[in-house]
Amino acid sequence: MSDEYWFCLKHHTVEGEEGCRNADRLGPYASQAEASRALEKVEENNEAWDNDPKWNDDALED
C-alpha cells in the first residue's frame, strides 16, 4: 500500500490509493492533512497566478 493520498472531488473526502477514478480527484499528496487542504491550495494557486505579472493576460489586451 502506498503512503499517498488524494482529495476526491465527488465526495469531498481524502482517499488512499484505492479510491475514485483519477479524473475525480486531486493528488497525490504526501499526507492526509495535505490532501485535506487540496481545495484551499487550488484557490491559493489560482489567486497567485491571477496576480502574477508574467502570466497576466490583461496586459495583452492594450
Q: Would you state the pLDDT for residue 35?
A: 97
pTM of the model: 0.77
> What span, in angstroms and rounded, lies between the C-alpha atoms of 3 and 30?
7
Q: Would you state the pLDDT for residue 7?
A: 98
Averaged pLDDT score across all residues of the chain:
90
Q: Would you state the pLDDT for residue 53?
A: 84
Report residues of the chain scoring pLDDT below 70.
1, 56-62
Residue 59 grid cell: 496586459
CB 34 within 8 A of CB 5: yes
